Structure 1
Amino acid sequence: MTDDRVSQRAADLLPEERAAGSADPQAQAQAILADSDEREFAPEPAEERRSGEAAASGDATR
């Protein structure tokens, strides 16, 4: 992770990230980017269901 990337992300915190507050926007940006990179480069596998595990037609929410 580059310093430029962290600095840019710190400068561009979303309104809800600003509202959460942080004594260290650089550290907050670094944590956000680390989480993002982890999800991008090591995504969790999609949930797989077998036909027997599917919801019955009467069980579906509307």
Structure 2
Amino acid sequence: MTDDRIEQRAAELLPEERAAGSADPRAQAEAILADSDRREDDPEAIENRRSDQAAAPGDTTR
């Protein structure tokens, strides 16, 4: 992961990512990119949930 990539992602945080209120947008961007890279490298490692375990759209209680 390059510093340029991290800085660009930090500058382009999504509204919901900004709303999370990170005190360190650069660290937040680095964590987002690391998670994204892991998911790309190993798509099978992504948690699988049954439909009855998934949250309904807009439900933030789960």
With the length of structure 1 as denominator, give the TM-score of the two structures.
0.70
- Equivalent residue, structure 1, for 2:60: none
Equivalent in the alignment of 2:24? 24
Q: C-alpha distance in 2, partners of 1:38/1:7?
A: 19
Equivalent pairs counted in the alignment come to 46
Percent identity over the alignment? 78
Backbone CA RMSD of aligned residues: 1.4
Larger-gyration structure (1/2): 1
The one-letter code matched in structure 2 to 1:14 is: L
Alignment partner, residue 3 of structure 2: 3
Q: Unaligned 5+ residue runs, structure 1?
A: 48-62
> Structure 1 segments of 4 or more deviating over 6 A?
none
Query: CA–CA distance in 1 between the matches of 2:22 and 2:7?
Result: 15
